[in-house]
């Protein structure tokens, strides 16, 4: 079941004042496309028309990563549309565990033959800022990956 909810603006330091929207998706291969269309519908015809392509690419990558790399039953997308910026956060319900050492994370974009591993590189190139938050009370339970794009008004400033 897919649900959409409008909420008051978040007080998170990575977000800005504006309208906040939430979308809960089942963790399926179709989730990235649904999130992409949801974000497009929020930005079309507004002051952030110029960042739609970057926003679609970034949200697709982050939601696809949540689908591929977690067993979460739900993927949650939150979009805050402000006057100068758009912030998107993608969270899942998989328990967070500390990363292991010895991997080759971050080097995928240096391998021209490899097809995957470009998501965080794209965020780094396209977003004004991006990062991850640990969610949960005293013990972190899951992770949310977020990115902020400068809107047309922010780019002109």
Token pair for 152 = 């047309």
Which residues are CB-neighbours of 53 under 8 A, at least 6 positions away?
none
Domain boundaries, the chain: 3-156
Instruction: Report d(CA 122, CA 60) in Å as an integer.
Output: 11
The CATH number fitting domain 3-156, selected from 3.20.20.70, 3.30.565.10, 3.50.50.60, 1.20.1250.20: 3.30.565.10
- Measured in whole angstroms, the distance separating CA 55 from the mean position of its chain's CA atoms is 9
The pTM assigned to this predicted structure is 0.75
Predicted confidence (pLDDT) per residue in 49-96, tens digit: 999 999 999 999 999 999 998 888 899 999 999 999 999 999 988 766
Predicted confidence (pLDDT) per residue in 105-143, tens digit: 444 444 544 455 667 788 889 999 998 887 655 545 678
Among 86, 101, 118, 116, residue whose Cα is nearest residue 17: 86
């Amino acid at each position: 079941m897919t649900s959409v909810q409008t909420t008051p603006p978040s007080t998170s330091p990575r977000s800005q004042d504006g309208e906040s929207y939430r979308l809960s998706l089942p963790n399926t291969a179709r989730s990235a496309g649904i999130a992409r269309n949801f974000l497009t519908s929020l930005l079309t015809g507004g002051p952030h028309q110029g960042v739609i392509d970057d926003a679609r690419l970034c949200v697709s990558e982050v939601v696809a990563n949540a689908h591929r790399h977690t067993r979460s039953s739900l993927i949650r997308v939150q979009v805050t549309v402000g006057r100068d910026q758009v912030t998107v956060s993608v969270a899942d319900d998989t328990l967070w565990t500390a990363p292991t050492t010895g991997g080759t994370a971050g080097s995928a974009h240096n391998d021209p033959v490899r097809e995957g591993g470009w998501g965080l590189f794209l965020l780094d190139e396209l977003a004004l800022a991006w990062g991850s938050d640990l969610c949960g009370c005293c013990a972190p339970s899951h992770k949310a990956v977020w990115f902020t794009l400068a809107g047309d008004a922010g780019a002109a400033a």
